Amino acid sequence: MSEALAMVRRHLNSYNLTIRKIPPEILIMIASHLKADAALITKATHVCHHWRSTLLPCPVLWTHPDFSREKQASLFLDRSKLFPIHADLKATHLSNSLVDLLCEHAARVDTLKISRCDGLQRLFHLPMASLKALEVATPGNWFFSRHMGIEAREFPALTSLTVEYTPGALAFRGALITHLRISTSNVHHEVTYLPGLLRSCVLLESLEIENRGDLEDSLRPLSDEVISLPHLHTFTQTLHHDRQTAGIINKLDFPPSCSVALRCIAGPTNGHPPFDLPPLQNTSYFTNIKRLKIVYTGDCLGGDASFTLDSVNDRGARFTAITEFTNFAVTVNPQWSEHPKDIRIEHSLPGVEVLCIGGYRYVPIANFRSLTTLILSGSIIHLYLELLAGPQGRYVYGSLRRLVLFVVRSRFAPTPVSHLPNVARMRAEAGLPLKVVTFASPSALSATDLRLLGELRAYVERVDLLLGNDALDWNLDKYYLD
């Protein structure tokens, strides 16, 4: 009877000419977008007999088993033949039979993600020669033995390694690792393995370190050691709470074109700044900075807020610092002041040619005397224009040739257009004319503002007006070159 019913269903499905017209190659290509979801790829085989007979024999579609359903996972492993498999065990209870199943197919595990260690020690003692991506987030001392220390585990094909909160996991090794992400705990013996891991990653291209413990204190005994990472193109360090320094940044030898991001996440600070930028003038990486971007966001009266600093030096290297606060009015460092009269600058950056400032807080620009391009956004643009129209702007900013203003109109922010003719006229009279003024506004300008922008043409070589989508989609990078 069951065979007869199957024949009837197959006969009925054969009349659906639309789905039967799809060539097998196209059908497999479509199904390949579903293979990461075991439930969806299984449903695809129930559409009709044509789909089922096409998809089941294709091993590449069955390489993402759902190990929370052990019987289904076993079926997927049989269907995938000898193809590399992806094992996500983060939300899976590891029974003995499941560990046995993984060990049986260990030679073709391509990606492995685990958050529990129960019983998997046996798996990690197998070669796993095909393992390319490994994510480990297990608490406790699974990889560490007080009597035996940490046994380094080599994976010859490993290219991506992520370890979180796992003492001893830094003993993983792979000569082909290009992407490394580490979330440290406060265990000293874990941190001491960090330099060894970094030195072994000779091909490292991307490095991300999240500091949740006493990373800086643990690194002090290693202060004389400098680690060279010649292929590194991105480095990101995230600091939490009261970790106010980023000492690891001074222990890495960055290549010229490497991009560096330093991020701080702070809770309630009780009135104390939660984050200090590293001294730019004392670090070779930050010499000859040409492009600098400073942005404030958040509630100016307190609450959640953030501060971003982005700089690029003459060798193309980029440094980004992002500070996020909770219950703190932003006053990051003395050199960034809220009022023009309180100008105090700690770091001398005489080589900055392109300066971009965004947000609602005033950033003193008196020490940036080599500017060729000034990009401004936010609600206090008029303060900078008043400075440029005054005696200081006439004699200090002699190299300034491009001025870009991005305006979000509100009833609290005065329009900066009225200041532009004065700035342009006074600079022209001083023999320091602006070449280009770009004014960007997502909303239409008033007739008065349009007339004032028209007056600029008598003093400026080119005046650009961006409105609507052009203003919303503006790209800062296109203003970086004069």
- Using 50, 70 and 90 to split pLDDT, how confident is the model at 431? confident
pLDDT above 70 for 311: yes
Residue 418 CA from chain centroid, whole number: 39
pLDDT above 90 for 16: no
**Is 424 within a domain?**
yes
Token look-up 């995938």 returns: 80
Q: 285-300: per-residue pLDDT in tens?
A: 666 788 888 887 765 4
Mean residue pLDDT of the chain comes to 76
Q: 28-74: per-residue pLDDT in tens?
A: 898 899 898 989 999 988 888 888 889 999 999 999 999 888 889 99
Q: Are strands 305-313 and 289-298 parallel, antiparallel or unpaired?
A: antiparallel
Whether the CA torsion 386, 389, 394, 398 is positive or negative: it is: positive
Residues 400 and 448 grouped into a single domain: yes
Determine whether 230 is exposed, middle or buried from the number of CB atoms within 10 Å of its CB (0-12, 13-18, 19+).
Answer: exposed
3-state helix, strand, coil in the chain (%, to 5): 30, 25, 45
Residues 274 and 345 grouped into a single domain: yes
Which carries the bigger pLDDT value, residue 274 or residue 108? 108
**Is 455 within a domain?**
yes
**Is 131 within a domain?**
no
Residues 313 and 274 grouped into a single domain: yes
Q: Domains in the chain: how many in total?
A: 3
What whole-number percentage of the chain has pLDDT above 70?
A: 69
Which carries the bigger pLDDT value, residue 64 or residue 3? 64
**Is 171 within a domain?**
no
Q: At 359, phi and psi to the nearest 5?
A: 110, -160
Mean pLDDT of 92-121: 84
The number of beta carbons lying within 10 Å of the beta carbon of residue 173 is 17
Mean pLDDT of 195-211: 86
Q: In terms of Cα–Cα distance, which of 328, 327, 326, 289 is closest to 309?
A: 289
Residues 344 and 375 grouped into a single domain: no
Q: CB under 8 Å to 108, separation ≥6 — which residues?
A: 82, 83, 84, 85, 130
Q: Which of 62, 84, 104 is the last residue of a domain?
A: 62
Ranges 255-259, 340-344, 459-463, most confident? 459-463
**Is 40 within a domain?**
yes
Residues 308 and 406 grouped into a single domain: no
Whether the CA torsion 128, 134, 138, 144 is positive or negative: it is: positive
Q: In terms of Cα–Cα distance, which of 57, 110, 60, 53 is closest to 86?
A: 110
pLDDT in the model for residue 223: 54
- Using 50, 70 and 90 to split pLDDT, how confident is the model at 79? very high
pLDDT above 70 for 284: no
Residues 386 and 453 grouped into a single domain: yes
Angle made by CA atoms 46, 49, 54, in degrees to the nearest 5 = 90
Residue type at 62 in one-letter notation: W
pLDDT in the model for residue 316: 83
pLDDT in the model for residue 11: 56
What whole-number percentage of the chain has pLDDT above 90?
A: 18
Q: Residue 236's beta-bridge partner residues?
A: 208, 261
The long-range contacts involving 115-119, CB below 8 angstroms and separated by at least 24 positions, are 115/89, 115/90, 115/91, 116/89, 116/92, 117/142, 118/94, 119/94
Q: Note down the domain range covering 337.
A: 269-352
Determine whether 270 is exposed, middle or buried from the number of CB atoms within 10 Å of its CB (0-12, 13-18, 19+).
Answer: exposed
**Is 278 within a domain?**
yes
Residues 389 and 477 grouped into a single domain: yes
Token look-up 């299984």 returns: 42
Q: Which two tokens mark 397? A: 């900013």
pLDDT above 80 for 429: yes
Residues 312 and 377 grouped into a single domain: no
Mean pLDDT of 127-135: 91
**Is 9 within a domain?**
yes
Q: 336-377: per-residue pLDDT in tens?
A: 444 433 333 344 567 888 988 887 777 777 777 788 999 998
Asked which of 151-155, 273-277, 305-309 is least confident by mean pLDDT, the reply is 273-277
Q: Which of 46, 62, 78 is the last residue of a domain?
A: 62
**Is 407 within a domain?**
yes
Asked if 37 and 86 count as a contact pair (C-beta separation under 8 A), the reply is: no
Residues 383 and 336 grouped into a single domain: no
Asked which of 69-73, 144-148, 315-319 is least confident by mean pLDDT, the reply is 144-148
